[in-house]
Amino acid sequence: MSPIRAAVLPSVGSPLEITGIELPEPGPGQVRVRLAAAGVCHSDLSLSNGTMRLPVPAVLGHEGAGTVVSVGEGVDHVAPGDEVVLNWAPSCGNCHPCSLGEVWLCANALAGAANIHARTEDGRELHPGLNVAAFAEETVVAANCLLPVPDGVPLTDAALLGCAVLTGWGAIHHSARVREGESVAVFGVGGVGLATLQAARIAGASTIVAVDVSPEKEELARAAGATEYVVASETTAREIRKLTGGHGVDVAVECVGRAVTIRTAWDSTRRGGRTTVVGIGGKDQQVTFNALEIFHWGRTLAGCVYGNSNPAVDLPVLAEHIRTGRLDPGALVTERITLDGIPGAFDNMLAGKGGRALVIFP
């Protein structure tokens, strides 16, 4: 078959190459998908700069949706023509976390990242960055990396369900378990942060504070559900307490992955409050607490992987919110680009500009 175009990471720290690759036909248990759209997520940037370590060279991209082109032997739950969402972290069902029902912590979820996915036109072997290699016109994935697009959800919106929306929804509903009337602060108004703000609004949060370094994001944040907007500074925690009667918010969700932001999110919660960390930070980001404050404040700090979600269970719930208009995945998108625009989208993420960039395939 003719080469397809893809965004390839040659090595950690190298610029992305938008180039042709040779993609094999699906083998047993595999499916070939033509992409309709793919979101550009901060996790892709974390792979490119080495914050997250997976085999390279690789085709990046993990948040996408498209149409099944062909299936390999033994695949019977999808067929050519089916519209599907890519699930970059499929659960194996056999490891210890899966046995506990914690499928988002599956020990084998990223085993496929070590596979040989494709080759460049000059013969270099390529891995699938986060299992699904969505930054390409077409991809071949394991059949368990696919979920049906729910009825009534456009493919371009469905692409965002595969990471940003599931993560933001799960941070609010599964990790922090926000109750109606509680107050919430969301740190970082990118794609995941905007999804988190929408989820907090759907949960019935009262005061919803959005925090970001950029004053330009206030309109985006308020459209997503924020009732207050704070430009990040050394006084952020104090400002949030002032907005909540001097107490602090019930829940803070950190979507940045920086030590100072995690610490500020913790400081912004009330006594007994909950902080959920969604952002992926590097090993150099050390967060410190003293023993007395942990006792005195009685707060909880929790990590959150993929929104602590079970995609097979959560996607139908999200779809119903989309159909009724309560949830709008398209509102996360501030830029629609082609494959060639991905390096620029990376630059915008580094600069803290915009929400989600969405690659639209012809």
Taking the chain (362 residues) in runs of 10, the rounded mean pLDDT of each run is 89 94 96 98 91 93 97 96 97 96 96 95 94 98 96 95 96 98 98 98 98 97 98 98 97 97 98 97 94 97 96 96 96 97 94 95 94
Q: Rg of the Cα trace of the chain?
A: 20
pLDDT tens, residue by residue, 130-145: 999 999 999 999 999 9
H or E element, residue 242: helix 236-243
- 232 Cβ contact list (under 8 Å, min separation 6): 187, 211, 212, 213, 261, 264
Residue 138 and residue 332: Cα distance in Å, rounded?
A: 24
64: which 2 tokens? 């996408």
185: which 2 tokens? 């602060």
Residue 135 and residue 60: Cα distance in Å, rounded?
A: 6
Query: 332 — phi, psi (to 5°)?
Result: -75, -25
Mean pLDDT, the chain, integer = 96
Whole-prediction pTM: 0.96
Q: What pLDDT does 291 receive? A: 96
**Whether 39 contacts 163, CB under 8 Å:** yes
Q: At what angle do helices 236-243 and 259-267 cross, to 10 degrees?
A: 30
- 215 Cβ contact list (under 8 Å, min separation 6): 231
Q: What pLDDT does 240 receive? A: 98
3-class secondary-structure state, position 74: coil
Residue 43 and residue 47: Cα distance in Å, rounded?
A: 6
Residue in this structure with the two tokens 């390409």, named with its chain if needed: 136
For residue 346, the one-letter residue type is: F
Residue 193 and residue 352: Cα distance in Å, rounded?
A: 12
Q: What pLDDT does 301 receive? A: 97
Q: What pLDDT does 1 receive? A: 58
For residue 296, the one-letter residue type is: H
244: which 2 tokens? 């909540």
H or E element, residue 210: strand 208-212
- 144 Cβ contact list (under 8 Å, min separation 6): 87, 90
Q: Is the dihedral of CA 134, 138, 141, 145 positive or negative?
A: positive
221: which 2 tokens? 């944040």
Residue 39 and residue 19: Cα distance in Å, rounded?
A: 19
Q: State the SS3 of 293-357.
A: HHHHHCCEEEECCHHHCCHHHHHHHHHHHHHCCCCCHHHHEEEEECHHHHHHHHHHHHCCCCCEE
